[in-house]
Structure 1
Amino acid sequence: MDPKSASNLSFILNKQKDLCFANRPLPSLSGPHDVLVAVNYTGICGSDVHYWQHGAIGHFAVKKPMILGHESAGTVVEVGSSVTSLKAGDRVTIEPGYPCRRCPPCLSGHYNLCPEMRFAATPPHDGTLTGFWVAPSDFCFKLPEHVSLQEGALIEPLAVAVHIVRQAVITPGQSVVVMGAGPVGLFCAAVARSFGATKVCSVDIVDSKLQFAKEFSSTHTYISQRVSAAENAANIKKTCGLPEGADVVLDASGAEPSIQTSLHTVRMGGTYVQGGMGKSDITFPIMELCLKEVTAKGSFRYGSGDYKLAVELVASGKVNVKKLISETVAFKDAEQAFEKVKEGQVIKVLIAGPNEKL
């Protein structure tokens, strides 16, 4: 594909609840280690929908028009003079956040905590729902021949789940409860199984999501009730055959009741990882945390090795990301696709790039 004769049409959020399409200038390589990628497919993330509906996530506020999207895969069309790992024509999944590489978190191997992180579709930075994207070559991961570009677009949310599970240090034979059965929660359950967890229970408030979770990777499911966190936890333990509680609880929902239930569900000396983000401040059952001596960790995006492992899990068949793809739509239908995601009608929608023929 010749970028100069192709479209760089972009899907743009002007401000809260104000979307449009517009052509943007073709980006150019900014350094010898960069690559130019033609974007083939992009998944819709909950954060994209949140920015559209609310104009902000925490202190990240949309103050000027911003291209949405960050779950993408594409085809390399140009490489910088120092790039040796990729060539034109290579199919890649794009890791969409670029750290400074020089600060203490970066130098200690935790680049996801870089204060200078430039993350796609996080204000003020544009995202990947566009025709062409420039990225550092080491943040583009070549897809094996048998892994499709559509699967490549789901590596990003899978990498989020990989990081959550790695934070928990799950070992073979452990029991795991995953709060939330959205895409990241489903992937957490699948990754936990691939790490050797023998019991994996998915918890949600929507029965259809739990039906899918059971088909996808979970050994048990529980639909949360309108009862106290302690009662829900007791029911989860009974349903899953975990009288002492779960070895590991992963929250992929960010919902306050789920977080509270999580601390009641984890066993004495167990591990709890917070992956989902909701309200900035919540009522937290600190007594459960202390009396059980729970190891509690946060999880933010993904870090060193997570993207590579996510690709390997898909390539090996251990995680079948294709099952989560509800449909793929043309670029011109992006807004309607966002509406479907907002209404909860689908699990994961992919938007074809503006130069992609369906």
Structure 2
Amino acid sequence: MHYFRHGRIGPFVVREPLVLGHEPSGRIVDTGPGVDASRIGQRVSLEPGVPCRRCRYCHTGAYNLCPDIAFFATPPVDGAFAEYVVIADDFAHPVPEHVSDDAAALLEPLSVALWAHRKAGTGIGSRVLVAGAGPIGLLVAQVAAVQGAAEVLVSDPDPGRREAARDFGATAVRDPAADDLSGAGVDAFVDCSGAPPAVLAGLAAIAPGGRAVLVGMGADEMTLPVSALQGREITLTGTFRYAGTWPSAVRLAASGAVDLDRLVTGHVDLDHVGEALAPGPEQVKVVVRP
């Protein structure tokens, strides 16, 4: 959506025509040299970023930070709003037949949520605050509940999104325009909005020794309360995609512990991709079906 609306995300700028789409699933129709041809016909979810496998980040498992990663729909790499794509065989993850095509595609945003919680250290009994109840925020809330969080607070200015959050694991919802979150004492805060006011409110809600994870992409720069971060020893980190999340994502979707199909509120074909990239407020997740 950032590329479609603004032509850039942070340092990544669209300078020539680019095929978008980085949340793909499909069925294997052919294989290249050295790949087992018996995979033809297999249903898969595609992890959309293939790293170089040679740099120090790849060798330490942090391949999401690989400087030469080829990531769908990130300039200059074309994405998956297409009938066919090509990807390395080990980044085409098999999915069980009972996992829908929509859910298989949405393993990508689920991976974003899983990676956020790995950074947040969420566990049994945690108190978690999530800012933003869009698709990523809803999945972050649902994963928090699955991981045993005792409280999952979701903050969003839209009443419809707040109500949706209750269906996705939130134990309580907050209106940031009316509710003061200062001193809430949460163990982890995950921002999925990218809005500076939401980030500042979330930081004020963290208990000493807690963690803040920035997932949403909004302002390139913002002013932070450094003295408060230091005085309460708050750990603040960003996230960049994910690494090694697909096996867990597949298991969560296959077991029904996470309901990805419930996120889908509409479908379009390739001729109407623009509608999926500019959804109305009533839409949560629109899936493109070629």
In the superposition, the TM-score normalised over structure 1's length comes to: 0.78
Tell me how many residue pairs correspond in the alignment. Answer: 290
**1:124 matched to 2:76:** yes
Q: For residues 128-277 of structure 1, what are the structure 2 equivalents within 5 Å? A: 128-225=80-177, 232-234=180-182, 242=184, 245-277=185-217
Which residue of the partner structure matches residue 271 of structure 2? Answer: 332
* 1:278 matches 2:215: no
Letter in 2 for 1:258: A
- Match of 1:248, SS state, is strand
Q: 1:164 to 1:85 in 2, by over 3 A?
A: farther
User: What CA RMSD, in Å, does the superposition of the two structures yield over aligned residues?
Assistant: 1.5
Deviation at 1:330, TM superposition (A): 2.4
Alignment-derived partner of residue 288 in structure 2? 351
State yes or no: 1:291 paired with 2:227. Answer: no
Amino acid of the structure 2 residue aligned with 1:123: P
Q: CA deviation at 1:86?
A: 6.1
Structure 2: runs of 5+ lacking an equivalent: none
Deviates most, 172-181 or 81-90 = 81-90
- Within 2, Cα distance between the matches of 1:336 and 1:164? 28
Gaps of at least 5 residues in structure 1 are 1-48, 354-358
Asked if 1 retains the 8 angstrom alpha-carbon contact of 2:208 and 2:233, the reply is yes
Structure 1 position 117, deviation (Å): 1.3
Contact in 1 for aligned 2:30/2:37 (Cα 8 Å): no
> Matched residues in 2 for 1:344 and 1:63: separation?
30
Deviation at residue 217 of structure 1 after TM alignment:
1.3
Instruction: With the length of structure 2 as denominator, give the TM-score of the two structures.
Output: 0.96
Tell me: CA distance 1:174–1:55, structure 2 relative to 1, closer, same or farther (3 Å): same
> Is residue 264–residue 286 contact of structure 2 (8 Å, CA) maintained in 1?
yes
Structure 2 CA distance for partners of 1:337 and 1:298, relative to 1, 3 Å: closer
Alpha-carbon distance, 1:110 to partner: 0.1
Equivalent position amino acid for 1:189 in 2: A
Q: What amino acid is the match of 1:174?
A: S
Q: Distance in 2 between matches of 1:258 and 1:213?
A: 17
Say whether the 8 Å CA contact 2:195–2:218 is kept in structure 1: yes
1:307 — aligned with what? 246
Does structure 2 conserve the Cα–Cα contact (< 8 Å) formed by 1:331 and 1:352? yes
Deviation sequence 1:36-78 (CA, Å, 0-9, x none): xxxxxxxxxxxxx221221112221111111111111000011
For the pair shown, which has the larger CA radius of gyration, 1 or 2? 1
One-letter amino acid of the counterpart of residue 258, structure 2: V
**Do the aligned partners of 2:133 and 2:155 also contact (CA within 8 Å) in 1?**
yes
Secondary structure of 1:249 counterpart: strand
Identity %: 39
Please tell me whether the aligned partners of residues 85 and 137 of structure 1 are also in contact (alpha carbons under 8 angstroms): no
> For structure 1, which segment, 265-274 or 329-338, has the greater mean C-alpha deviation from structure 2 after superposition?
329-338
